[in-house]
Amino acid sequence: METFENLVRAEFTPKHTFLNTASNGLLPARAVSAMQQAVRMRAEGTPLGPLYEHVEAARASFARLAGVPATRVATGASVAEYGGLIAASLPSGAEVLTAEGDFSSLVNPFHVRGDLKVRAVPLERLAEAVRPGTALVAVSAAQSADGRLADLPAVREAARAHGARTYVDASQSAGWLPLDGDADDFVAAVGFKWLLGPHGAAFFVVPTGFGGLTPLLAGWVAGEVPWESCYGPVEEPARSARRFDISPSLFSYAGLRASLELIEEIGVDAVHAHDTALADRFRAGLAELGHRPVDAPGSAIVSVPGLGHRQGELSRAGIEVSDRAGNLRAAFHLYNTAADVDRLLDALRA
């Protein structure tokens, strides 16, 4: 069995110090190869059936990471489309509870309905803010702006106590933070960040019985027998979560299948230990420099108030980080090393 380090070295060859996975992850070599093969098939006129097999393999792989049957996982392109389906299922006047400053793709579908009561509270008060009449609690497992982790067990307990459902966006956590897809009513995640896939692919976990959702975006691929559902209305929607699929970006899923195989091969627990150790090393170095990051213990994302303006100079120096809400955001993933952390600290010291 190959070691963590050997696997990573064989797959990633960044030209810069890349600490920006919270924006998008690097593609492993196996994903690049799979996408190139898919493009060649399209260029050569080869039948594309194998590319649809990549979609199903990616679905099954994500289901294993989430700890749910593949029949409960839908494939799509963005988190916003899934939020739209959930928003459409709520009755007029229903209250949706969110965290202040959460990512727009999560919260915006509930605002544009126009007839829902969307209430935002500080992340740390989310569980205590659930009340009678709250229909849904929607929150990111890890906040995009600063890496803070939601207290999901407390949120779930409060939601159950008041008859509310939970919807978790795992886009900033799936791939490094263990995921329990069976603990919430709905879970969504894009594939291009910590899951190391290309843009244009996402997953959605629904409960058994579909949680009252209507497949509003359904096309032919959402039929129980897709190739017999190409013309006219889809007579028989898929009996699984595939009824919520949209027509897949085949090149993206070819690459994402390979990326997910790498994550499964290494193991999320190992990735979690690696990523959080690097984040803790960075936090310790920041303390020595007199900087105090946003309090986000246990997160692979570290955000430093007041330093966002240095993103440009760091990029010119070959260190890729983000400027988010005025904060310098660094994200540490499996291809990063202690040397990457120290290079960033040295640059900030200078």
| Segment 196-208 mean pLDDT | 98
pLDDT at res. 325 = 85
Same-domain status, 252 and 151: yes
Q: Which residue, 265, 284, 308, sits at the end of a domain? A: 265
Please report whether residue 335 resides in a domain: yes
Same-domain status, 19 and 156: no
Same-domain status, 23 and 108: no
Residue 3 has pLDDT above 90, yes or no: no
Same-domain status, 129 and 274: no
- The 8-class DSSP code of residue 142 comes to B
- Tokens of residue 127, six digits: 């569980």
Same-domain status, 24 and 46: no
Residue 37 has pLDDT above 80, yes or no: yes
What's the structural domain count of the chain?
2
Residue 350 has pLDDT above 90, yes or no: no
Q: Which residue, 236, 265, 294, sits at the end of a domain? A: 265
Q: Which residue, 230, 245, 265, sits at the end of a domain? A: 265
Same-domain status, 218 and 308: no
- The 8-class DSSP code of residue 149 comes to B
What DSSP element (H or E) covers 76?
Answer: strand 73-76
Helices and strands, number each (H, E), in the chain = 11, 12
- pTM value? 0.96
Residue 51 has pLDDT above 90, yes or no: yes
Residue 42 has pLDDT above 70, yes or no: yes
Residue 234 has pLDDT above 90, yes or no: yes
pLDDT tens digits, one per residue of 288-327: 999 999 999 999 999 999 999 999 999 999 999 999 989 9
Percent of the chain whose pLDDT exceeds 70 = 99
Same-domain status, 241 and 143: yes
Please report whether residue 68 resides in a domain: yes
Tell which residue, 336, 331, 338, 335, has the closest CA to residue 147: 331
3-state secondary structure of 238: coil
What DSSP element (H or E) covers 52?
Answer: helix 49-66
Tell which residue, 285, 268, 280, 282, has the closest CA to residue 334: 268
Residue 7 has pLDDT above 60, yes or no: yes
Percent of the chain whose pLDDT exceeds 90 = 97
pLDDT tens digits, one per residue of 89-148: 999 999 999 999 999 999 999 999 999 999 999 999 999 999 999 999 999 999 999 999
Give burial (CB, 10 Å; 0-12/13-18/19+) of 117: middle
Residue 1 has pLDDT above 60, yes or no: no
3-state secondary structure of 69: coil
pLDDT at res. 2 = 66
Tell which residue, 254, 213, 253, has the closest CA to residue 237: 213
| Full DSSP string of 242-307 | GGG-----HHHHHHHHHHHHHHHHH-HHHHHHHHHHHHHHHHHHHHHHT------TT-SEEEEET-
Domain of 127, CATH number, reads: 3.40.640.10
Residue 11 has pLDDT above 90, yes or no: yes
Please report whether residue 34 resides in a domain: no
Please report whether residue 156 resides in a domain: yes
Same-domain status, 143 and 290: no
- pLDDT mean across residues, the chain: 97
Please report whether residue 129 resides in a domain: yes
Residue 36 has pLDDT above 90, yes or no: yes
Same-domain status, 259 and 280: no
The pLDDT-based confidence of 332 (bands split at 50, 70, 90) is very high
| Segment 70-89 mean pLDDT | 97
What DSSP element (H or E) covers 15?
Answer: none
Residue 218 has pLDDT above 70, yes or no: yes
Same-domain status, 329 and 227: no
Same-domain status, 59 and 24: no
Please report whether residue 89 resides in a domain: yes
Helix, strand, coil percentages for the chain (3-state, nearest 5): 45, 15, 40
Range of the domain at 297: 4-29+266-349
Count of all residues that appear for the chain in the document: 350
Please report whether residue 147 resides in a domain: yes
Please report whether residue 35 resides in a domain: no
Domain of 311, CATH number, reads: 3.90.1150.10
Same-domain status, 272 and 132: no
